[in-house]
Structure 1
Amino acid sequence: MKSLTTTVRRSPGRFTLAFLLTAVPLLIALLGPLFAGEPGPRGASFTLGDGHWAGTDFVGRDVWRQVLLGGRTVVLTALSATALAYVVALPLGLMSALTHRGWLEELLMRPLDVLLAVPSLLLILLAAAVFAPGAAGLALLVALVNIPDAARIIRATAAEAAARPAVEALRMQGETWWRMAVGYVGRSALRTLAADAGTRLTGVLYLVATAAFLGVGVAPDAADWAVMVDRNRTGLFVQPWAVVLPAVLIVALTMGGNLLFDAALTGRGQRRTPLRKPLPARKEIRT
């Protein structure tokens, strides 16, 4: 019997919105320093005009120039922290899911549970009070607090695939751990990991911005979007652009990244659903 098919498609408008929300702040963050130019003479604090279309900040610097300079630290720190967290969490989660030795799983996961119980921001503040990290140190700290949760999600996702008969067949054939972990189990958990990566990157961006807002990892007068929000908040009702512009860029980047991952997953997950023709109605036979 022939069947009709229909395709579940992602919304192009939603994908376009997600792309724009992500691309605009990302381009400003990465390419902004190339167009920032030389610093001009400082004006009065929290003023509009005088050659500064977005006004001046709390020390009289041009707000738009600070916006062009201030995104690279936030973006690169967040991306580095997210990538580093998965570099450590992925092998830990896969090893825990594939091992048949209970003691090894306990050895791998229980220390992570202890670290997971400590609030992430508290851990960052305590470490910053002792080591006074820079941007690289902040990326390491943010990655450290994300490793336990990422490893648990990877372990839980990979455990279902690791229990399939195919994995046991690969073991009996003498396949390497790398082939089983990455070639089969890792590929089976790829969609879940991609969804987690979008959500985790959003959380990491907020955590990096919050740490910078509190003065962790960056100088108090640095050109940084989060520092701009912190230092200029006293003039919010006098010169709002010094706070609104960096805050909107941070929010747009986090929302856009999450929506973009979701739209990409929807596109990968579209499937063709068969729609069979309805069966003809039965004729009643009267006697």
Structure 2
Amino acid sequence: MRLLLLAVPLAVALAGPWFAPGETAHGVSYTAAGLLGTDFAGRDVWQQVLLGGRSLVLTAVLATAGAYLLGTVWGLAAAGAPRMADEALMRPLDVLMAVPSLLLILVVAALTPGGALAWIVMLVHLPDVARLVRACALEIGTRPAVEAMRLQGESRWRITTGFVLPSMARVLATDAGTRLTGSLYLVAAASFLGVGVPPDAADWAVMVDRNRGGLFLNPWAVLAPALLIVMLAVGLNLTADRALRKAAS
């Protein structure tokens, strides 16, 4: 069941654009009525569903991967730095954490017109990831194995890459599943609010916003993209939980 929940929206999102039917204007057909009918403007809903998931999924994956890449480096640097440098690295992130996620997305998008949504979502996740990595690195750094490696003359780089990072891998993997789901939520919410995508784009979240006024005329124009987003989020969480249970057993 969990694999089905994950596989269906991923297949539609990643492979859908290759199978989108009909001639297009700005990426969306205005002439054909496919399996799910048309929306209030006469656009083929089935074609929009096939075209609208790839940007959502790729943006969420890129934002999450970028947050972990930058957050890991940031957190490790803070954990190994003197107290003053640690404070200088972490306090700006505390300011970012104090700002609600959607408000931060709206503010950054307004200050950087045309900016990539993936960068904005990555900025939202960065404080949490950096703090998590720093906390793990500080705890692991007090273990006897690390002290033994230091006494043997091992370099800080070797200690970090050979012991600290592998020791925190399970914690980071646990967080990654939840973080990716959060990225999907933020990207979908931003698209719903019109941030990062044009209002006439073939995007699942934009479809929900654009067609909600005509829900009773053609409910599939809203329900199809909304169900795919929900299936993807639930499938990711269930798959991540299953993988962690296997790793722990």
* Same structural fold, with TM-score higher than 0.5 when normalized by the shorter chain: yes
Amino acid at match of 1:105: D
Conserved in 1, the CA contact under 8 Å of 2:13 and 2:54? yes
Q: Secondary structure at the match of 2:38?
A: coil
Counterpart mapping for 1:163-178 below 5 A: 163-178=142-157
Conserved in 2, the CA contact under 8 Å of 1:133 and 1:216? no
Counterpart mapping for 1:40-55 below 5 A: 42=30, 51-55=33-37
Cα deviation for residue 107 of structure 1 reads 1.7
Give the number of equivalent residue pairs.
Answer: 245
Conserved in 1, the CA contact under 8 Å of 2:33 and 2:43? no
Amino acid at match of 1:176: S
Does 2:158 correspond to 1:158?
Answer: no
Counterpart position of 2:104: 123
Counterpart position of 1:19: 3
Q: Secondary structure at the match of 2:99?
A: coil
Counterpart position of 1:72: 54
Q: Distance in 2 between matches of 1:30 and 1:126?
A: 30
Amino acid at match of 1:110: R
Does 2:60 correspond to 1:104?
Answer: no
Indicate how the Cα distance of structure 1 residues 107 and 263 shifts in structure 2: closer, same or farther if over 3 A, else same. Answer: same
Q: Secondary structure at the match of 1:189?
A: helix
Counterpart position of 2:221: 242
Cα deviation for residue 52 of structure 1 reads 2.6
Does 2:62 correspond to 1:83?
Answer: no
Cα deviation for residue 38 of structure 1 reads 2.6
Counterpart mapping for 1:1-287 below 5 A: 17-39=1-23, 42=30, 51-99=33-81, 101-134=82-115, 137-270=116-249
Amino acid at match of 2:30: R
Larger Rg: 1
Show structure 1 runs of 5+ residues with no match: 1-16, 44-49, 271-287
Counterpart position of 1:14: none
Q: Distance in 2 between matches of 1:164 and 1:97?
A: 14
Counterpart position of 1:279: none
Cα deviation for residue 197 of structure 1 reads 0.3
Q: Secondary structure at the match of 1:260?
A: helix
Conserved in 2, the CA contact under 8 Å of 1:98 and 1:181? no
Conserved in 2, the CA contact under 8 Å of 1:98 and 1:162? no
Q: Distance in 2 between matches of 1:21 and 1:183?
A: 36
Q: Distance in 2 between matches of 1:82 and 1:76?
A: 10
Q: Distance in 2 between matches of 1:161 and 1:259?
A: 29
Cα deviation for residue 112 of structure 1 reads 0.9
Conserved in 1, the CA contact under 8 Å of 2:40 and 2:214? yes
Amino acid at match of 1:71: G
RMSD: 1.5
Cα deviation for residue 51 of structure 1 reads 4.5
Higher helix share: 2
Conserved in 2, the CA contact under 8 Å of 1:82 and 1:204? yes
Q: Distance in 1 between matches of 2:109 and 2:85?
A: 32
Conserved in 2, the CA contact under 8 Å of 1:22 and 1:256? yes
Conserved in 2, the CA contact under 8 Å of 1:132 and 1:216? no
Q: Distance in 2 between matches of 1:129 and 1:97?
A: 33
Conserved in 2, the CA contact under 8 Å of 1:226 and 1:246? yes
Q: Distance in 2 between matches of 1:247 and 1:256?
A: 14
